[in-house]
Amino acid sequence: MMAELGCVIIAGGKARRFGSDKRRLRLWGEHGLTLLEHTLAVAQTMSNQVVISLNDPTEWPELSVPLLQDAVPDAGPLAGIVAGMRQLATEWTLVLAADLPLLSTGLLQELLNLPRHSLAVVPQRQADSQQRGGWEPLCALYQRACLPHFEQALTTGQYRLTQLIEQLQPQVWPITSTSPWYQHLHNLNRLDDLHQLAAVKVL
């Protein structure tokens, strides 16, 4: 019988916009976890089958889970998702970005508890006067049947995840700015993102 849930962490490695290797940030003190280790620790509370997709697996000997290289170089997160889903072969795959410093077991448990009526269950932050909205495809659930769609997109060079998500007609988990989970989906793309989280005292 196929296992119910696996998890693939999309860890990339180039961090062009951030300016340094954000995966190695120790946001919880000098001797605390790195950002990637934090993501792994949270993921392992949800599944005992976790893999990490990254460009430099030999640089992370301390990690205790399978490390995968992207199925296609320089194809973005989609290549990591395909590599991870091929390795896991589980009925559902939880896909997580490695740059979510506020990622929590509570957020993921609520996602996993949602009734599933589609090939994908994807959070969508709702826009308001202060915040932009949008899909969160790197904190989402994908059924095994999504893999052929992802592989086809990878083969034809259609790497944009948001376009693929819309084609799958996913089940939406709407998250408004007043939701306790809204900040948990804040990722670190630039140094300004880190400063913003520090300013509101969540880091």
Please state, in angstroms and rounded to a whole number, the distance separating the CA atoms of residues 196 and 99: 15
Averaged confidence pLDDT in the chain: 86
pLDDT reported for residue 146: 96
Residues that constitute the known binding site for GTP: 10-12, 22, 70, 99
Residues that constitute the known binding site for Mg(2+): 99
Dump pLDDT digits (tens) for 154-184.
999 999 999 999 899 999 999 998 898 988 8
- Coil vs helix vs strand at 175: strand
Q: How many domains does the chain have?
A: 1
Residue 95 contacts by C-beta under 8 Å, 6 or more apart in sequence? 7, 8, 10, 81, 84, 137, 138, 139, 140, 141, 142
Residue 178, exposed/middle/buried by CB under 10 A (0-12, 13-18, 19+)?
Answer: exposed
Residue 129 has pLDDT above 80, yes or no: no
- Tokens 């005292």 correspond to 201
Q: Which domain holds residue 191?
A: 5-199
Question: Terminal CA-to-CA distance of the chain, rounded, Å?
Answer: 42
Per DSSP, what are the bridge partners of residue 94? 7, 141
The CB density around residue 163, as the number of other CB atoms within 10 Å, is 10
Please tell me which residue, 66 or 25, carries the higher pLDDT value. 66
The CATH number of whichever domain residue 30 belongs to comes to 3.90.550.10
Please state, in angstroms and rounded to a whole number, the distance separating the CA atoms of residues 30 and 25: 9
Residue 69 contacts by C-beta under 8 Å, 6 or more apart in sequence? 53, 54, 55, 57, 83
Residues that constitute the known binding site: 10-12, 22, 70, 99
Dump pLDDT digits (tens) for 60-119.
998 999 999 887 888 999 999 999 999 998 999 999 999 999 999 999 999 999 999 999
